[in-house]
Amino acid sequence: MSVNAIKEDEYSKNVSKKTTLIRLFSYMLAYKGPIIAVILIMLTTVSISIVNPLIIDRAIDVYIANKDMKGLFRLGLFALGLNIAFVLLVKLRMLLMAKVSNNVLLTIRQELYTHIQKLSFSFFDSRPTGKILARIIGDVNSLKDVLSNSVTTLIPDFVTVIAVVIIMVVLNWKLAIASLISLPFMAFGLWYIQTRSHKRWRIHRKKSSNLNAFIHEDLSGMRIIQSFTAEDETSETFDELLEEHRSSFVNAIVLNDAFGSVIDFSWGVGSISMYFVAVKLLGIDAGNVGTLMAFAMYITMFWHPIMNLSNFYNQIITNITGAERIFDILDTEPDITDVDSVAELPEIKGEVTFDHVSFAYDADTQVLNDVSFRIKPGETIALVGPTGAGKTTIVNLISRFYDIQQGNLYIDGYNIKEVSIESLRRQMGIMTQDNFLFSGTVADNIRYGKLDATDEEIIAAAKAVNAHDFIMKLEKGYETELKERGAGLSIGQRQLLAFARTMVSMPKILILDEATSSIDTHTELLVQHGIEALLKGRTSFVIAHRLSTIRKADRIFVIDDGCIQEEGSSEELLAKKGQYYNLYMSQFKNLEISA
């Protein structure tokens, strides 16, 4: 079982279904006016439903028995008008509740999405994107019927059941007892089913998330799958997940269907019992046919809402897991938050100080160990070293994507934990090897670095990184619509657009994390001037395995085993003939031999 599955189990155990439902329905309190109107409408329609059998009783035992056709006609017109009003009120009720439930779903989805955006990287590190999508879309949608029926089913049907029992007892208490004799069996059956059903639906929800996560990952990595001809293997995995999803659904739905069977059986037993008592024990004759028919209608009116209530309870059992999973995310606190006394970071010069910083992603993995250094404003620092040495971790800490466990980190003398995250990151520009582009125009993607950037600023940024020429060759230039993730552009073109996006933000501190790893040598020469313009006057941290891109750095830090093993300019480190020298020679040996 995965860590996420364990967390979900713990959440469902610690939070009762009652607490979850109360929290879910609390969202409806913002719509008190429409809900009160719906309740009043439902009380009216329930009253009409209860009156109908009494109209039948009077029509048969009074007007038909006495051959009073005028009275029967008047009663018929009254019943017709009453039931036309009933139909119109039901339509109005459905319209009002549809609006309320959709608005509540909109609120929950917005709250969930907004909260997810505030969560720390550690949250996304441990959860596949497909599972998060399942929460935002599938789990929220699953609550629609529960929210809508909570008012349109629960209240009127509960009132109907109580009112019908009272009327039946008043009309004939013996027939009432006979009609309801199967209630204990029904109560036991529903209790037995619900104690097992919730667990099965929780398992089904997990299988659905697993399937969504796999599909999302599979589609995102389709190029890799086809490149390695792994279609058969992924199809087998998909079939296994699909079978688990199907089996979990069948196991859950088998118990769900049993709800209806228990109600139908109880309904049948009650009806047979009522007719047996009426004919055999009470000897009801033709003069009381109206009463017997009214009783038959009331039995239907009793068991039909019981069926509705059981179906509603069934919906709760089926979908409450979705609510639990939603609230699980909403109750997840971000690891990185502003303290109560947080201050705004003023415009900075770009001094960065690590003061005995240690960091670990988890208890078993120490990444940085007592790292200290001071970067002057405007310096360009290159970070080199083997994979997993801690280079990206250093820049992630500067951006405060993670919090350090020991030591302090200062920017212009300000402890970054004591300034607002927004004011810190607003003055930073981050370029990674994942040059992600959004669906939208080229201009929109560049403007993402500075939302209020003018067209002139966008063009200037593109020219600075030598992206302007290829942009103008596109079908509509800067207004060309890009496909998802920039599909249709080369890797180098996507990288240049990402450079322009960072350029337009004019950051005080710049981070380039393998930013040129996807650019070929020719494109690198084109963008090198833009990089130099981008670095000028800014404190910059450059991570690169391609050492040709960092030879002009003011200082180079060689990171290994969570520590700075060497520090100096490229010439100084080459003269030492240490780790940097070995890295350099391994990359340029062939080039120097051929020269």
* Amino acid in position 108: I
**Which of these ranges, 60-69, 78-87, 219-228, 235-244, has the smallest mean pLDDT?**
219-228
Return the minimum-mean-pLDDT range out of 109-113, 294-298, 479-483, 500-504.
294-298
pLDDT digits (tens, 9 = 90+) for 439-496: 788 898 888 888 888 899 999 888 887 888 888 988 889 998 887 666 778 777 887 8
The confidence score (pLDDT) of residue 489 equals 80
- Do the Cβ atoms of 470 and 479 come closer than 8 Å? no
Question: Model-level pTM?
Answer: 0.63
**pLDDT computed for residue 475 by the predictor:** 85
Count the helices and strands in the chain (H runs, E runs): 23, 12
- Residue 332 CB burial class (10 angstroms; 0-12, 13-18, ≥19): middle
What is the arithmetic mean of pLDDT over 19-29? 84
Q: What is the structure's pLDDT at 355?
A: 94
Highest mean pLDDT: which range of 40-54, 278-292, 329-343, 372-386 = 372-386
Is residue 514 within 8 Å of 545, Cβ to Cβ?
A: yes
| Dihedral (CA of 226, 230, 234, 235) sign | positive
- Model pLDDT for residues 149-204, shown as the tens digit of each residue: 776 677 777 777 888 788 778 877 777 788 778 778 877 877 777 777 767 877 87
CATH code given to domain 344-427+547-595: 3.40.50.300
Q: What percent of the chain has pLDDT over 70?
A: 85
Q: Which fold has domain 18-330?
A: ABC transporter transmembrane region fold (1.20.1560)
Task: Give the chain's largest Cα–Cα span.
Answer: 121
For the chain, which residues make up each domain, given as ranges? Answer: 18-330, 344-427+547-595
Q: What is the DSSP string of 257-322?
A: HHHHHHHHHHHHHHHHHHHHIIIIIS---GGGHHHHHHHHHHHHHHHHHHHHHHHHHHHHHHHHHH
pLDDT exceeds cutoff 90 at 520: no
Helix, strand, coil % (nearest 5) of the chain? 65, 10, 20
- How far apart CA 104 and CA 98 sit, in angstroms, is 10
What residues does 354 pair with on adjacent strands?
373, 409
Check whether 361 has a pLDDT greater than 80: yes
Mean pLDDT computed over 35-54 = 83
Q: What are phi and psi of 381, to 5 degrees?
A: -110, 125
User: Within 13 A of 12's CA, how many CA atoms are on the CB side?
Assistant: 23
CB contact set of 203 (below 8 Å; sequence gap of 6+):
248, 251, 252
Q: Distance between CA 501 and CA 465 in Å, rounded?
A: 10
Contacts of 68 by beta carbon, 8 Å cutoff, 6+ apart: 62
Q: What average pLDDT does the segment 383-406 reach?
A: 88
- Average pLDDT for the chain: 79
Q: Is 394 within 8 Å of 541 (Cβ atoms)?
A: yes
The answer to whether 400 and 416 have CB atoms below 8 angstroms apart is yes
Fold match between domain 18-330 and domain 344-427+547-595: no
In eight-state DSSP terms, residue 551 is T
Tokens of 465: 């990184």
DSSP summary character for residue 480: P
Contact 507, 538 (CB under 8 A): yes
How many Cβ atoms sit within 10 Å of the Cβ of residue 232?
A: 8
